[in-house]
């Protein structure tokens, strides 16, 4: 395994700067750490005083804080409370100084709301910044109109507001009413918004928009509303009045792409019946073919290949191709898969997945020498398919990573950036949301080389999720030591040992779930390092599992490793199936198990959920990387290539 190093380039005049470093590592904490800690305590007291209007106490504390990086947040707190016209100069000075930073918008939004409420149109126009909230955008247009905005520009700006598939805020009502009087609301614009609401927005908006259509067109809005909830309604001939066949075709296309997932037999029958009588466009035919091909593949329907053949080459995408691959693998048609891959456009055929499966099908169909060359080309690459190829050749795995090079000057420049200083202090105060806002703003101010330095700093701080994310944003994937930190190693090690599972597996799961962000949370309610759902936590531990408790690394990791152990046991020690279950759920994975044995690499490609499919590939790859970072050169994927998946009792 190649060892990663961190190289500092310097010239003689800069040699003195090396005192700031220890073995190449940046000293993140200020020189006088005790003084800085005192400032943090003073900051919290000053903030408390500001929020409660204790001005004398606040001013005294403010004087003691001197150049503390978070002093602007104290001024923000104060201005949020007294940001009226009497303090306009202070507000404007603050907005100018921190323009386009997280501090800016936290004051600008309430300031604009205040100005709109006072009908201070000139000031509102002066202080508004695009894009702003939808409410403020509408108020901005209204203010401009009252200050003489011409009819043409006014209509164009309101056109953009109208084109939303969701209900608009009440602040938009005045400009919409005037826009309507100026004949801005045409039938075509109503139809476009109705289509947005039906297919991508809020369907409860459909009755309102339907009522705005001319009477002869209103059946179309009612038809859209009907199929939004019940796509099988296209079986009712009464909806096809023939007045607007192109629009009826639009609605039917939408309905068919929904219906194929609910009832493929009705969808196929309806398409066969309606295709001759509706003027489907080429794009609509391609949309239907794509959705039918994918849905029928997932359902193992005998007509799946027929619909795949109807998707033109120029319309192929990752989703269609994935399920084309799955069909051939399920049918054990390796010759057909080989020929299909060879017929793909070069740009697609050179993808890692297709290179591997071309090698695999060449191997299965007897072309061993061709397969070996293809495997060899892949085997030096650091990804799921590269690791599989290495295993098939029984050769050592390569991490293939580069050295990260930054200069002392770059390190000092980035470290002294105000956003870096503020982000660091916010981390120390455990104000993670504000810290991430500062960091995201920082990245917009840095070039690619500087962002590498920023990622290194974040890693040194133990802010691993931001270090990983920053490198991903700039496409720098070769700093393996930063992208795969041994974060929370002691906690994960103890918990893994207690649960009887591989520590590298737990590290890989944690890396995939949260990038080691201890306060991570998902829309489904999962929390913490290993993304534990409250329901799962309750099954594992009867204690009160509040979100704060689930964010505690030791609690979260104990529950997560215990759950992994339970899943592995339920799948007769098959950790690959347990990995899939950790993402998709135990009973769902049981439904995916085949009746006859299937090789693991083939089974992974046929997992119905793309999220779980990608999850399994990522976790296996991360587990291999962590094994090697820990000094274990064995290829985990040798177990994968020999593994078969089959339904168990």
Residues marked as catalytic: 513
Please choose, from the candidates 356, 404, 365, 410, the residue with its C-alpha nearest in 3D space to the C-alpha of residue 384. Answer: 356
- 60 to each of 36, 41, 57, 122, how far by Cα in Å? 18, 14, 5, 37
The CA dihedral of 521, 522, 526, 528, to the nearest 10 degrees, is: -20
State CA 485 to chain mean position distance: 21
Please give the Cα distance from 409 to 38 (Å, whole number): 29
Task: Kindly report each contact of residues 575-582 with a partner whose C-beta sits within 8 Å and lies 24 or more positions away, as own/partner.
Answer: 575/501, 575/502, 575/505, 576/600, 576/604, 576/616, 576/620, 576/640, 576/643, 576/645, 577/645, 579/505, 579/509, 579/615, 579/616, 579/619, 579/620, 580/607, 580/612, 580/615, 580/616, 582/509
CB 223 within 8 A of CB 239: yes
Cα–Cα distances (Å) from 648 to 563, 590, 644, in that order, read 20, 9, 12
50: phi then psi, degrees, rounded to nearest 5: -65, -40
- Report how far residue 318's alpha carbon sits from residue 294's, in angstroms, rounded to the nearest whole number: 11
**DSSP state letter for 474:** T
Please give the biggest Cα pair distance in the chain.
Answer: 86
Long-range contacts of 63-70, Cβ-Cβ distance < 8 Å, separation of 24 or more: 65/39, 66/39, 68/39, 68/42, 68/43, 68/425, 69/418, 69/421, 69/422, 69/424, 69/425, 70/43, 70/422, 70/425, 70/426, 70/429
CA dist list (Å): 494 to 16, 248, 417, 559, 565: 42, 62, 39, 12, 14
Q: How many angstroms separate the CA atoms of 378 and 506, rounded? A: 27
Q: Which helix (H) or strand (E) holds 25?
A: strand 25-26
CB 453 within 8 A of CB 405: no
Q: CA nearest 614: which of 577, 580, 640?
A: 580
CA angle 126, 132, 138 (to 5 degrees): 80
Q: Which residues, including other chains, have CB under 8 Å from residue 521's CB and lie 6 or more apart?
A: 527, 528, 547
**First and final C-alpha spacing in the chain:** 41
Which pairing describes strands 21-22 and 598-599: parallel, antiparallel, or unpaired?
unpaired
């Amino acid at each position: 395994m190649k060892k990663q190093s961190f190289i500092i380039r310097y010239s003689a005049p800069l040699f003195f700067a090396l005192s700031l470093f220890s073995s190449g590592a940046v000293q993140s904490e200020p020189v006088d750490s005790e003084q800085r800690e005192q400032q943090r305590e003073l900051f919290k007291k000053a903030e408390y005083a500001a929020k409660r209007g204790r001005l004398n106490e606040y001013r005294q504390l403010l004087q003691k804080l001197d150049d503390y990086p978070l002093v602007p947040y104290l001024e923000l707190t104060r201005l949020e409370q007294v940001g009226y016209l009497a303090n306009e100069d202070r507000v404007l000075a603050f907005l100018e100084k921190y323009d386009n930073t997280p501090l800016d918008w936290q004051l600008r939004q309430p300031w604009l709301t205040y100005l709109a409420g006072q009908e201070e149109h000139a000031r509102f126009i002066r202080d508004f910044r695009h894009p702003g909230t939808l409410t403020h955008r509408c108020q901005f247009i209204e203010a401009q109109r009252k200050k003489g905005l011409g009819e043409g520009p006014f209509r164009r700006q309101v056109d953009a507001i109208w084109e939303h598939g969701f209900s608009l805020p009440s602040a938009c009502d005045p400009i919409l009413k005037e826009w309507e009087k100026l004949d801005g609301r045409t039938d075509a614009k109503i139809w476009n918004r109705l289509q947005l609401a039906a297919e991508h927005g809020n369907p409860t908006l459909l009755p309102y928009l339907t009522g705005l259509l001319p009477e002869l067109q209103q059946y179309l809005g009612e038809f859209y509303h009907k199929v939004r909830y019940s796509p099988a309604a296209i079986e009712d001939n009464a909806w096809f009045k023939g007045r607007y066949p192109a629009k009826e075709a639009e609605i039917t296309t939408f309905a068919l792409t929904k219906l194929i997932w609910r009832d493929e037999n009705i969808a196929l029958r309806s398409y066969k019946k309606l295709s001759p009588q509706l003027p489907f466009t080429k794009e609509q035919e391609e949309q239907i073919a794509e959705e039918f091909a994918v849905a029928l593949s997932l359902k193992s329907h005998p007509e799946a290949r027929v619909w795949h053949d109807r998707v033109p080459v120029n319309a192929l995408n990752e989703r269609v191709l994935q399920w084309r691959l799955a069909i051939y693998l399920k049918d054990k048609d390796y010759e057909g898969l080989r020929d299909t891959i060879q017929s793909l456009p070069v740009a697609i055929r050179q993808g890692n997945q297709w290179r591997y499966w071309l090698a695999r099908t060449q191997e299965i169909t007897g072309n061993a020498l061709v397969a070996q060359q293809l495997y060899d080309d892949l085997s030096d690459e650091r990804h799921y398919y590269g690791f599989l190829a290495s295993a098939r050749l029984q050769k050592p795995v390569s991490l293939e990573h580069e050295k990260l090079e930054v200069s002392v000057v770059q390190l000092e420049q980035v470290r002294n950036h105000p956003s870096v200083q503020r982000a660091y202090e916010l981390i120390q105060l455990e104000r993670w949301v504000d810290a991430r806002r500062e960091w995201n703003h920082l990245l917009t101010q840095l070039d690619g080389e500087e962002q590498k330095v920023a990622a290194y700093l974040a890693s040194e701080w133990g802010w691993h999720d931001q270090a990983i994310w920053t490198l991903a944003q700039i496409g720098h994937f070769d700093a393996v030591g930063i992208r795969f930190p041994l974060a929370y190693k002691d906690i994960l090690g103890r918990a893994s040992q207690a649960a009887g599972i591989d520590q590298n597996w737990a590290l890989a799961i944690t890396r995939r779930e949260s990038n080691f962000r201890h306060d991570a949370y998902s829309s489904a309610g999962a929390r913490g390092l290993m993304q534990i759902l409250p329901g799962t936590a309750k099954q594992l531990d009867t204690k009160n599992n509040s979100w704060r408790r689930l964010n505690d690394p030791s609690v979260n990791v104990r529950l997560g490793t215990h759950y992994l152990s339970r899943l592995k046991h339920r799948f007769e020690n098959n950790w690959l199936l347990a990995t899939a279950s950790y993402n998709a759920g135990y009973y769902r994975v049981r439904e995916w198990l085949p009746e006859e044995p299937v090789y693991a690499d083939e089974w992974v490609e046929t997992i119905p959920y793309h999220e779980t499919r990608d999850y399994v590939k990522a976790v296996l790859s991360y587990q291999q990387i962590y094994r090697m970072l820990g000094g274990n050169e064995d290829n985990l994927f040798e177990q994968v290539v020999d593994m078969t998946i089959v339904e168990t009792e």
